[in-house]
Amino acid sequence: MPRKRRVWVPGDTYHIMCRGNHQQNIFRDDEDREFYLIVLKRLKVICPFLLHAYCLMDNHVHLLIETTTVDITKIMYHINKDYAVYFNQKYSFVGHLFQGRFRWELVDNNPYYLEVSRYIHLNPVKAEMVERPQEYNWSSYQSYVQEEIENSLADTYKILGYFKDPKRLKYQRFVEDGVIFN
């Protein structure tokens, strides 16, 4: 039976989740994570999209992507294919790296949009990888809470636009209100 075609509308925003097949790690070292970020940066030019938030966990990825002129399935096809080719060559890996197609949820209202960004940035805290989200180097959170980071991969203006000055501090409080620290 053929897969159901996903509906795409230019300008839609999606919370994307890609998990390693059999929950295996898709990132084994920092070089792998760096390469994934290079793939994202390159594809933002080839298949234009806005990357509002991201988090690279050991065995999965969260992306908050707003499409422009290219279908989300095409964007994700290229991201996952390019990274899988790299991973398979580096580790002499055979078979599927990712568990099926990517999962996605349409982000269609402002409160949900902000909640998804908070969820993505708190993922390493909830997984007990770090105590605070700014301690995790493989998410877009630092682009939000630090003054302008040069060559930031994340497009922060939309999310920060929901907050009044000082925007970065208010966003940090919003995110950190979602978890109780020890």
Mean pLDDT of 1-22: 83
**pLDDT value of residue 180:** 61
Residue 181 pLDDT exceeds 60: no
The residue ranges of DSSP E strands in the chain, in sequence order, are 13-19, 49-56, 60-67, 103-107
**pLDDT value of residue 39:** 98
Q: Maximum CA pair distance of the chain?
A: 53
pLDDT above 70 covers a percentage of the chain that reads: 93
- Taking the C-alpha atoms of residue 116 and residue 159, their distance in angstroms, rounded to an integer, is 11
> Per DSSP, what are the bridge partners of residue 55?
62, 139
**pLDDT value of residue 152:** 81
Helix (H, G, I), strand (E, B) or coil at 46: helix
Q: Are 129 and 136 in contact (CB under 8 A)?
A: yes
Q: What is the pLDDT of residues 90-119, one digit of tens each?
A: 999 998 999 988 999 999 999 999 999 999
- Taking the C-alpha atoms of residue 165 and residue 69, their distance in angstroms, rounded to an integer, is 32
Mean pLDDT score across all residues of the chain: 92
**pLDDT value of residue 182:** 45
**pLDDT value of residue 8:** 78
Q: What is the pLDDT of residues 40-84, one digit of tens each?
A: 999 999 999 999 999 999 999 999 999 999 999 999 999 999 999
Residue 18: partners with Cβ closer than 8 Å, 6 or more residues away: 26, 60, 61, 63, 76, 80, 98, 102, 103
Mean pLDDT of 122-141: 96
Mean pLDDT of 115-138: 96
Helix (H, G, I), strand (E, B) or coil at 161: coil
Confidence of residue 151 (pLDDT cuts 50, 70, 90): low
CA 168 to chain centre: 19
Mean pLDDT of 32-44: 98
Residue 7 pLDDT exceeds 80: no
**pLDDT value of residue 129:** 96
For the chain, what is the total number of helices (H) and then of strands (E)? 6, 4
CATH of domain 13-176: 3.30.70.1290
- Taking the C-alpha atoms of residue 97 and residue 105, their distance in angstroms, rounded to an integer, is 21
